[in-house]
Chain A
Amino acid sequence: MMEADTRVEDFLDDKLQTPADLAHIDTLLSAVEFQRSQLQSQLDDATRALDEARRVAADRSAALAAQIAEFDKLQKGIDVRLRIVSASDAPDAAVRRLERPLKQLESVELAYKYLMLLQDVEGLREEARKCLPGDPRKALEPYGRLKELALRLKKLQEEADGAAVFLVSHVETAVDRLWEEMKGIMRTELEKVLEKRKWPAQVSPESEIDEEWLQCFEKLLDLQLPEILHAASTPKPEVVTLLAMDVMTDIFVKEFRFHFLSDKPTSAPQVIGQHCFPWVLNLLEKWEDFFRDNFSPLLAAKFADTPAARKMVYMDPVCAFISSLLPVIREKVTRTLEQTQGDTAFLSSLLSQLMTFDDQLRSSYAYDGGLDSEEWGGLTAEVLATHFRTWLEAEKIYALDRYHEIMATQDCRQIDYDFAGPGKTKPTFGAVRVTDLLRSITQQYCRVRKFGHKLRFLIDIQLTILDEYHDALRGSLEAYLSLTSTVGRAFGVSKEQLAALEGTGALEALCKVYGSADHIVNTLREWSNDEFFVALWQELQDRAKAVSKNNSSSGAGHKKRESLGVGISYDQIKDRTSAAVGSDDEEGVLFDETIAAYSQRRKRAEEFLADALVDSHKKAFKAYLHRPNWSTVAEDGEFPLHVVLWVTVINP
């Protein structure tokens, strides 16, 4: 109040500085009154505004509350709907409903591409066909594209887990069919030429073929060229027969079938060696020069500087001719085997004849089956692939029967004094027959090509017989020992047995063992230098060393016991042949173990022989050693001993 009073005072002091100013007091009062009313109205306005604001605020918050309520309601509604939605599968159904039309759309696209592809296939086929028979080389281009397409489809199919089976097989069939068609067209062309020339009846083996013939032949070669080059360059080549040669061989194949695969007597399985093989060899001989003279230059030109240039089956027309003939011969052999199943004696003779036939193809025509490093196994190898066990068993039974027959012969245990001249050890007849038998077994299998097969013959048959014979010799020595030793005699020895040892009987019994063992040892030593056995030993060593090498590098010792690919274990082979197997020992021979065993028998027999002589001497000297009284011998004259003898020698 005091302050206000001060301000009023100041105001009044300011306004009433002079008495004159009091005259204006009314004015002043009215001004104050005006200002107060103005302020009052301002205050009223402010109050009104405040009221208004308060009302608006109230209205606002009410509206907001209403809005919140509204939102809550909405939220609740959404929640409810969400619950409903999540409980239902309406969207999946929708997607599914869309799927089908999409797929149909895809299928339509695919079908379109499909048709395009088929059209391409058809187009390529047409294109290839159009070039024939005029220009086979040109036909190869669309064919090659088609072939490539088929290969690509095949690869894609594999990636797609075997989809589109129909399409792929259709294209493949199309390719194959086209190839057959192309070949057919070209074959027909050559066939027509051959028919016109009346091949082979009217064609002289000395004649020269005409241009048309040669051209047809060449066109067939052209058609086949990629196939041949591909076959020739693969590491494990399979022989492709020349189509042109096939066509020319057809007539002979027919003839062959007529003679050897019919119901004619010449078709009988037993006469395959008498009729069939000679027929083939005659045929080859007859046409050899014809083929060589007429087709060699063409083949040489065609295959020069290609992988096929090194192959006789492509370069040499006669070899190609053989290739074309072989399938029907193979068929005949297979049929023969079927017809004679169980007849092991025939199997044996058939194999021998087959080996001869193979050898003739090899030696006369240098036929090699298109193989580089490996030697051609021939038809024999094909037969042995399935029939080896049967053959081996049959040969084994036969050989062991023969062995037992030998051992049962009357003079088997007699010494053959005529076997060798003086100064030579004589074997028994038995020993000589056993080595003859072994030799004949070698003849049976020495022409077999496969190492494993040869080794089986050696071990299963030859070494088995040698083991048996060795046991027989050892048995003889043991029997001798039991008859002569005091221990043996205690076991009741018959008078006959003892009588047999009288005189030179004991020596004879021992000489039989000595001579027989000696004969076997010498024979085996001789064989160890035989080319066949040397080669077999070399091959065994090479394989054994390879096995050892692999093992030392992989560190797996147990592998060493694995077979060398022949069905007998490594150790077994080593036991049966030579301890030098797999070593670097240059001295080893195939028969080491057997020679050692027989040498042992021979050594024992020799020791026994010396002992027998000593026994004989002891008996003979018995009286001499004990009886004479050397100090009472009558004087027999003055002559020194040697003079007496000398005189008696000159003057008996």
Chain B
Amino acid sequence: MTADLAITPELDEPLRVSLVISLPFLNTYGMVSNLLQILQRDLAFLRRALGTAPLRRIWRSALDRLNSMLWTDVLMSARFTSAGAAQFARDINAIVSLVERYLPDVGSGSLAALGEALQLLTLPVKLPEGQEAGLTLKSATDKVFTDNAQAKKVLEEMGLEILSPANARQILQRRVENAE
């Protein structure tokens, strides 16, 4: 997912604008934009004051902790509809994109586990029109809950390297469709 969003430097500014434009669709707009502002402010400030190496170490350390915070307090605490999952993914994506602009690979690296989790969490209920093969929420859930071997196959198929089968089951359970 983050690979799709690898933004070239020339597109930096458009992205900022695009985020602002696209965000009104979301009811988390105010909060995320505030968040992004603060992140951007901190990134901009520290990039001026610090050398590349300490800057990356410090952000790595801080974002690792942000990753666990979002994992525990959002991913593992809430129930997601398809739209809710999509929105969460968008928010995280915006954060990662922002960090990537300043520190390539740091944002995607630190939030990688969350990124993988979001790929699972945003699996569609049905395949988009015209698409024959692919995982749906249901097919993936069925396989993941069958056994570890099946679960590993799903993870492999989706190119997820960090998540364990247990993780996968926990994450898929966060979808309201799987709540029962």
Contact = CB atoms under 8 A, between A and B. Distances in A.
Nearest to B89: A641
Interface string B50-65: 1110100111011001
A630 B31 CA distance: 14
Given A511-B50, A636-B86, A641-B90, A625 B69 contact: yes
A508 B42 CA distance: 10
Contacts of B35: 620-621, 624
Contacts of B86: 633, 636, 640-641
Contacts of B85: 630
Interface of A: 415, 417, 422-426, 503-504, 507-508, 511, 514-515, 518, 606, 609-610, 613-614, 616-618, 620-621, 623-636, 638, 640-642, 644-646, 648-650, 652
A30 to B, nearest CB: 180
B124 A633 contact: no
Nearest to A415: B49
A639 to B, nearest CB: 9
Given A609-B58, A633-B87, A642 B4 contact: yes
Contacts of A507: 42, 45-46, 49
Given A508-B45, A625-B74, A649-B7, 13 more contacts: A417-B49, A503-B41, A504-B42, A514-B50, A518-B54, A606-B54, A613-B42, A613-B58, A614-B65, A627-B31, A628-B87, A633-B86, A642-B1
Contacts of A638: 128
Contacts of B176: 631
Interface of B: 1, 4-5, 7, 11, 14-15, 17-19, 21-22, 25-28, 31-32, 34-35, 38-39, 41-42, 45-52, 54, 57-59, 61-62, 65-66, 69-70, 73-74, 78-91, 93, 122, 124, 128, 176
Contact of A630 (B51, B70, B79): B79
Given A616-B38, A618-B69, A636 B25 contact: yes
A54 B22 CA distance: 183
Majority SS of interface residues in chain B? helix
Contact of B50 (A425, A627, A628, A634): A425
B81 A632 contact: yes
Given A633-B87, A652-B21, A640 B49 contact: no
Contacts of B14: 649-650, 652
7 contacts: A415-B49, A617-B62, A620-B34, A621-B35, A630-B79, A638-B128, A649-B11
Given A614-B65, A652-B14, A633 B81 contact: yes
Contacts of A630: 74, 78-81, 84-85, 87-88
B59 A613 contact: yes
A610 B58 contact: yes
Contacts of A636: 25-26, 83, 86-87
B79 A631 contact: yes
Contacts of B89: 641
A508 B87 CA distance: 34
A641 B93 contact: yes
Given A511-B46, A641-B122, A624 B69 contact: no
A631 B4 contact: no
B19 to A, nearest CB: 8
Contacts of B15: 649
A649 to B, nearest CB: 5
A505 to B, nearest CB: 10
Q: Which of A503, A504, A613 has the largest count of B CB atoms less than 10 A from its CB?
A: A613
Contacts of A609: 46, 54, 58
A166 B5 CA distance: 110
A48 to B, nearest CB: 160
B22 A648 contact: yes
B18 A648 contact: yes
A473 to B, nearest CB: 15
A644 B22 CA distance: 8
B37 to A, nearest CB: 8
A617 B84 contact: no
A523 to B, nearest CB: 15
A418 B52 CA distance: 16
Contact of B83 (A424, A623, A626, A634): A634
Contacts of A511: 46, 49-50
Given A511-B46, A649-B15, A649-B18, A423 B7 contact: no
B17 to A, nearest CB: 4
B54 A514 contact: yes
A521 B145 CA distance: 55
Contacts of B48: 417, 426
